[in-house]
Amino acid sequence: MKRFSRGSALLGGLLGAALLLSACSSAGTPASTSSAGGTLVIDKSFDLKTADPARNFETTGNILGRALYDTLVTFANGDSSTPIPMVATKWAGNSDATEYTFTLRDDITFPSGNKLTADDVVFSLERVANIKGNGSFLMAGLTASAIDPTTVLIKSEAPNTAIPAIMTSPTLGILDSKTVIANGGSDAVGADTADTAETYLNKTSAGSGPYELSTFDTTTETVITANPDYWGNKPKYDKVVLRNSTAETQNSDITSGTAQVALDLGSDQIASLSGNSSVIVSTTSSPTLFFLFSNANPAVSATTSNPKFREAVTYGLDYSGLLELAGNGAVRAAGVVPDSFLGALKADQAIARDVTRAKAAVATLGGTPTVSLEYPSDISSNGLDFGPIAERIQANLAEVGITVNLTPSPVATALANYRAGTEQMGLWLWNPDFPDPSDYLVFGPGATVGLRAGWAAGSAPDIESIASKAAVTVDDATRATLYQEFQTKLNEAGVFNPLFQPAASVVSSSSVGKVLFSPAFGLDIAAIGQ
Amino acid sequence: MFARFVLKRVGAAVLLVFGIVVVTFALTALLPGDPAAAQLGDRASGDPAIVEAYRKAHGLDQPLWTQFVLYLVHLVQGDLGTSLQSRNPVLSDLAQFGPASFELAVTATAIAVIVGVGLGILAALRANGPLDHTLRVVSLGGVSIPIFWLSLIAVFLFSTQLRLFPSSGRLNPGETPPNHITGLYVLDSVITANWATLGSSVAHLILPALVLAAPMVGLLLRFTRSSMLEVIGNDYVRSANAKGLPAGLVVRRHILRGALVPVITVLGSAFASLLAGTVLVEQIFAWPGIGSYAYRSASNLDLPAIVGVTLFVAIVFILVNFLVDILYGLIDPRIRTS
């Protein structure tokens, strides 16, 4: 028995040592400080793939890109309606919005010592176009050229008033062209195979932004440090750790002080923080649109392609109930264009539930229409899962006599059906690629999302005519009217049913202060604490 | 004799690995969904030129048979392809994430063996007593409580409320990992005498390892108990007790040795469930291991990574089974001679 006692003592000793070590590692205390010049820890559920701006088109990458690279113009203070100067001090478009001239600052120097010139801008934009990546569509129909070292001309094949808004995208971040070329970069046609600079850019940033890349890891954490020679307002924090963590972990981290900013907390978690004076919750409506569609292609479904069925769905949905389900801070989507963008419909222009009308429409169909509703079951956005929303839709439509069979599947599978246009009904979301209503013309007949709902070109000439006009109109007031008309007609057609824009909440520790969500790039790290 | 045994095992392992490659490759390729669509954004997937460039760059434009043959050719050369997600060679991803999972799994196993076998011995020695009944509940709880729920409760209790252990990652935010020697942070910290990192890495390891060990503890506890009780009833144990040998000696030399063979078998299978459990535990604790990598790969139809992870896990299984066979021989000489 003596030896057993020794074994127990050894075990006890080991456990004691482990607890002591854990205590020494300050596990329960914040590992970072939030004072000026200190370290800031930001928790985010990663979708990070690359630190190369031209190859990035993910939300985490946008946050990182905004910190590492300057763009011609940008947005500030959570606004996404009015671009403000960044590398470009001023810009002007011609009368038909086919040419935009940007005048650049002449006092920006990259960490390599190279001066930022128009050649760097042209290289960066053309590289995005020719790399054939997720963000290449931003440069579709556009060409950039250097007029002189501080002037860039961007030409568009068709009138395009969205160019300044497009130029805010972190994908179009400006690279130190000489450094990137020396490390395998290319902006020429064929860059999709010739450009090998991603490996370099995943180790060393080549931008003039407020931060520089310190360590890059797509799975655990990415660390950035302040650029000592940044030309603009110096960021408050010297070091920022962007950590990959689930919403549950973020909740724990922000409560314990391990992280100072949490970006993915759901409405229930945020509600549980009420009364906690150590955190500040900043909630705005996100520009993300949750929408439902009924396939207009008779080959996919004779039922959903029937306008009477779509009428029944449109007036059978309980939009208020769905909004409640989306949680505090969410807003009703009156149309497809988010409420903060030009041309958005006003709340009172939204379709209201009319059960009698919906039932009357169902009656004309004969029998009980039965359809399937597909949605991705393994992803969430702004803390919202698709499952409960789909179930509520099923219940709403059952009330008006429509049987909806739910067909959830993993996003990788569901995406294939959605993009192939074979779903009878689909529940999806749309995030803006750039903050301009023209990004929502994709919902029209024959356009990208329209085709996914089986809405072929020529199906609704009146809507297509308005869309064509809106795309080339330059005057903002006229544009706003056209986009409102476009959306009103979309709502009447009922192929798409805009549901709501979820809340976008940023939770920060009180020592950091209020942190604003940016609809354009998620978060402006350099602005935190300013 | 032993060399022949090893050679036969290695031959069987190679065939098994080949079979796994064929089945995994075929099943993943047959899954509904398009890897290009899963990787490309909404806009890019609508542009045929971009889709074509993507398919060409990743060999997805080739017929499935050609893709498979190319994969095998590269596999023989030690190339597992490039991950569509991370854009790194799968082998280098596995080398990056493998040690994290290995560290977690080995720690969990060590905890499970010490606690599970220890409590199993106690339960057997106090069979049908109050302690045995209590441990039966512990064992039942260990095997039946869902690991994701246990993870969330552990985070809430020990991290959020008591603040005893950190809830995510392998180190504190922004902390520099120890110099890479084995990739096991605890071991590397000791080797490099980096005591600050040692504290941090141990603190981060404890909670996920305890959670991961829980089902294994329950399993080992039950098997050790029943196996011990079987051996305790044997004549040679009664003889040893009758000779007046110290109780500890009888347990270690006579009972435990005989009882361990079935326990080791269970340990092998338990290691299998432990590897499966890492997917959930690693997700919740943001542990950058194979489980997290597997989850990301599967949800993004990252074929090279999926096959790579499957191969990795299969090889680990084969190695564990091989080790179990060797251990049998060491513990029970009758198996060695037969």
Burial class (CB in 10 A: 0-12, 13-18, 19+), A391: middle
Nearest to A378 among B152, B201, B299 (CB): B299
Nearest to B299 among A24, A31, A412 (CB): A412
Nearest to A252 among B159, B196, B300 (CB): B159
Weakest-pLDDT range from A76-90, A503-517, B7-21, B116-130: B7-21
Q: Is domain A22-268+505-527 annotated with CATH 3.10.450.50?
A: no
Using CA atoms, how far residue A363 sits from A303, A352, A366, A371, A489, in Å, is 13, 20, 6, 16, 24
Q: Could A3 and B248 be called an inter-chain contact, meaning their C-beta atoms sit closer than 8 Å?
A: yes
CA torsion sign, B3 to B7 to B9 to B10? positive
> Hunting for tokens 């120097």 — which residue is that?
A109
Nearest to B292 among A57, A198, A219 (CB): A219
CA distance A64 to chain B (A): 16
Question: Which residues from B are below 8 Å from A433, CB to CB?
Answer: 42-43
Residue B42 to residue B44: CA distance in whole angstroms: 6
Indicate which of B150, B162, B202 best probes the interface with A, i.e. most A CBs within 10 Å of its own CB. B202
Helices and strands, number each (H, E), in chain B:
16, 0
Q: Could A28 and B162 be called an inter-chain contact, meaning their C-beta atoms sit closer than 8 Å?
A: yes
B193–chain A Cβ distance below 8 A for any pair:
no
Question: Which residues from B are below 8 Å from A193, CB to CB?
Answer: 53, 57
How are strands ordered across the β-sheet holding A88-93?
A88-93, A99-104, A151-156, A142-148
Q: Could A1 and B300 be called an inter-chain contact, meaning their C-beta atoms sit closer than 8 Å?
A: no
Nearest to B43 among A239, A378, A433 (CB): A433
CA distance A26 to chain B (A): 8
Domain A289-501 fold: Dipeptide-binding Protein; domain 3 (3.10.105)
B85–chain A Cβ distance below 8 A for any pair:
yes
Q: Could B248 and A410 be called an inter-chain contact, meaning their C-beta atoms sit closer than 8 Å?
A: no
Please state which CATH number belongs to domain B95-337. 1.10.3720.10
Chain B CA closest to residue A51: B86
B133–chain A Cβ distance below 8 A for any pair:
no
CA torsion sign, B105 to B108 to B114 to B116? negative
* CB atoms near residue B78 (< 10 Å): 8
Residue B272 to residue B317: CA distance in whole angstroms: 7
Q: Are strands A425-430 and A289-294 parallel, antiparallel or unpaired?
A: antiparallel
At B338 the pLDDT is 57
At A3 the pLDDT is 39
pLDDT digits (tens, 9 = 90+) for A221-242: 999 999 999 999 999 999 999 9
Indicate which of A60, A252, A260 best probes the interface with B, i.e. most B CBs within 10 Å of its own CB. A252
Nearest to A39 among B45, B174, B246 (CB): B174
- Map residue B333 onto helix, strand or coil: helix
Question: Which residues from A are below 8 Å from B155, CB to CB?
Answer: 248-249, 252
Domain boundaries, chain A: 22-268+505-527, 289-501
Residue A286 to residue A433: CA distance in whole angstroms: 13
Residue B11 to residue B4: CA distance in whole angstroms: 10
User: Residue B155 half-sphere exposure, CB side, CA atoms within 13 Å?
Assistant: 26
Indicate which of A29, A48, A62, A248 best probes the interface with B, i.e. most B CBs within 10 Å of its own CB. A248
Chain B CA closest to residue A14: B111
Using CA atoms, how far residue A155 sits from A118, A186, A218, B270, in Å, is 15, 21, 35, 64
Q: Could A259 and B173 be called an inter-chain contact, meaning their C-beta atoms sit closer than 8 Å?
A: yes
At B335 the pLDDT is 62
B95–chain A Cβ distance below 8 A for any pair:
no
Residue B233 to residue A89: CA distance in whole angstroms: 90
- The ipTM is 0.73
pLDDT surpasses 70 at A17 = no
Please compute the mean of the pLDDT values over residues A393-408 and round it to a whole number.
Answer: 97
pLDDT surpasses 80 at A426 = yes
Indicate which of A1, A4, A132, A429 best probes the interface with B, i.e. most B CBs within 10 Å of its own CB. A132
Q: Are strands A496-501 and A151-156 parallel, antiparallel or unpaired?
A: unpaired
Residues 168-187 of B with CB under 8 A from A: 168-170, 172-175
Residues 108-127 of B with CB under 8 A from A: 114, 118
Q: Are A50 and A251 in contact (CB under 8 A)?
A: no
Q: Could B203 and A135 be called an inter-chain contact, meaning their C-beta atoms sit closer than 8 Å?
A: no
Question: Which residues from A are below 8 Å from B170, CB to CB?
Answer: 220
Domain boundaries, chain B: 2-76, 95-337
Please compute the mean of the pLDDT values over residues A478-487 and round it to a whole number.
Answer: 96
Alpha helices in A198-300 (DSSP H): 198-201, 247-256, 267-272
Nearest to B163 among A28, A218, A248 (CB): A28
At A138 the pLDDT is 94
Q: Could A21 and B202 be called an inter-chain contact, meaning their C-beta atoms sit closer than 8 Å?
A: yes
Please compute the mean of the pLDDT values over residues A492-506 and round it to a whole number.
Answer: 95
Residue of A216, A211, A230 whose CA lies nearest to A40: A211
pLDDT surpasses 50 at A179 = yes
At A10 the pLDDT is 44
Indicate which of B155, B168, B211 best probes the interface with A, i.e. most A CBs within 10 Å of its own CB. B168
CA distance A336 to chain B (A): 16
CA distance B270 to chain A (A): 23
What phi, psi does A28 have (nearest 5°)? Answer: -95, 0
pLDDT surpasses 90 at A189 = yes
Question: Which residues from A are below 8 Å from B114, CB to CB?
Answer: 11
B321–chain A Cβ distance below 8 A for any pair:
no
Alpha helices in B160-256 (DSSP H): 185-191, 195-232, 235-242, 247-249
Question: Which residues from A are below 8 Å from B172, CB to CB?
Answer: 25-26, 31-32
Indicate which of B167, B176, B200, B279 best probes the interface with A, i.e. most A CBs within 10 Å of its own CB. B167
Per-residue pLDDT 10s for chain B (338 aa) are 667 777 777 788 888 888 888 888 888 777 777 788 777 877 787 788 888 888 888 888 888 888 888 888 888 888 888 888 888 899 999 998 999 998 999 999 999 999 999 999 999 988 889 999 999 998 998 888 988 899 989 988 998 888 889 888 899 888 889 998 999 999 999 999 998 899 999 999 999 999 999 989 998 999 999 998 988 888 888 888 888 888 888 888 888 877 887 888 788 777 766 776 688 899 888 888 998 889 888 888 888 898 899 888 888 888 888 777 777 767 766 665 55
Determine the distance from the C-alpha atom of residue B323 to the mean position of all C-alpha atoms in its chain, rounded to a whole number. Answer: 14
CA distance A89 to chain B (A): 30
Residue A338 to residue A482: CA distance in whole angstroms: 15
B50–chain A Cβ distance below 8 A for any pair:
yes
Residues 260-299 of B with CB under 8 A from A: 283-286, 288, 292-293, 296, 299
Please compute the mean of the pLDDT values over residues A450-463 and round it to a whole number.
Answer: 96
CA distance B172 to chain A (A): 6
Nearest to A21 among B32, B203, B301 (CB): B203
Question: Which residues from A are below 8 Å from B162, CB to CB?
Answer: 28
Question: Which residues from B are below 8 Å from A32, CB to CB?
Answer: 172-174
Tokens linked to A297: 């292609």
At B277 the pLDDT is 66
Q: Could A192 and B293 be called an inter-chain contact, meaning their C-beta atoms sit closer than 8 Å?
A: no
What lies within 8 Å, CB to CB, of A95 at 6+ separation is: A474
DSSP structure class, residue A498: E
**Which secondary structure element, helix H or strand E, spans residue A466, and what is its range?**
helix A461-472
Indicate which of B121, B152, B163 best probes the interface with A, i.e. most A CBs within 10 Å of its own CB. B163
pLDDT digits (tens, 9 = 90+) for A35-60: 457 999 999 988 888 999 999 998 99
Return the higher-pLDDT residue of A409 and A317: A317
B32–chain A Cβ distance below 8 A for any pair:
yes
